[in-house]
Amino acid sequence: MNGLDKIIKKIESDSFEACNAMVSEANQKAKEILSAGEKNCEEIKKREELRCEAACADIKARVKSAAELEIRKGKLLARQTVITQMLDKCKASLKNLDKEEYFSLILKMVEKYSENQDGIIVFSQKDYDRMDKNFISKINKVSSGKLTLGEPNGKIDSGFILVYGDIEINCTFDTIFTVEKEKLTDVVSAVLFDK
């Protein structure tokens, strides 16, 4: 082998070693990149799993809270329905009291609601027709002021209206139940639901 052949062989050998070293280095870098990528993917996967678990837990909590709210609303609606039915029954039972009990209740109401002045008391036609002729004298015994019997009012179902000049005090059962609804609701609720 001559000197030129030796130089070419040396260049080829050096080139081959350099190429092998570059390929080896490239393979090593590829393994490192692949390993880093796999590690990064694992971290992302774990992070996303945790995020998904948290999101699922949040959704479950919201669904549970919404369901509990709906249950509470349903219970409240049921309670309100029962209370309204009880108040309606109570009002109906007052309207349907026998004559003696009914007019005894009217006297108690006159005592409570009458003003200390002269006025007029107005009843329904039904009550006007069934009251004793001396009932106005019983009214004036319990009234704070003198009351005279007014003409029957077709709009009154039960109870009465007190008239003092331009001022009317509506003591019909419907009005009293409407005005006192909150108080009556509390009483019925306490009786039915509080233990």
* Domain harbouring 171, CATH code: 3.30.2320.30
Structural domain that includes position 159: 98-192
Range from 70-74, 80-84, 138-142 carrying the lowest mean pLDDT: 80-84
State how far the Cα of 161 lies from the Cα of 172, in Å rounded to an integer: 7
State how far the Cα of 140 lies from the Cα of 13, in Å rounded to an integer: 135
Do 90 and 160 lie in one domain? The reply is no
Last residue of a domain, one of 77, 96, 115: 96
Q: What is the DSSP letter of 119?
A: E
| Cβ-based neighbours of 174, under 8 Å, separated by 6 or more | 91, 157, 158, 159
* Rounded mean pLDDT, 107-125: 89
At 172 the three-state DSSP class reads strand
Of the chain, the percentage scoring pLDDT greater than 70 comes to: 98
pLDDT tens column, 124-183: 988 888 888 888 888 888 888 888 888 888 788 899 999 998 888 899 988 888 887 777
Do 69 and 53 lie in one domain? The reply is yes
pLDDT tens column, 93-111: 888 888 899 898 889 989 8
The pLDDT, as a whole number, for residue 119 is: 92
Do 108 and 182 lie in one domain? The reply is yes
Do 81 and 132 lie in one domain? The reply is no
The pLDDT, as a whole number, for residue 107 is: 92
Do 64 and 151 lie in one domain? The reply is no
195 pLDDT above the threshold of 80: no
Do 112 and 168 lie in one domain? The reply is yes
The pLDDT, as a whole number, for residue 122 is: 92
Structural domain count, the chain:
2
63 pLDDT above the threshold of 60: yes
State how far the Cα of 195 lies from the Cα of 192, in Å rounded to an integer: 8
Last residue of a domain, one of 47, 78, 96: 96
Do 121 and 178 lie in one domain? The reply is yes
Do 103 and 88 lie in one domain? The reply is no
Phi, psi of 42 (to 5 degrees): -65, -45
194 pLDDT above the threshold of 70: no
pTM for the model stands at 0.60
Q: What is the DSSP letter of 116?
A: S
Do 51 and 1 lie in one domain? The reply is yes
Instruction: Compute CA distances 154 → 122, 124, 130, 174, whole Å.
Output: 10, 6, 15, 14
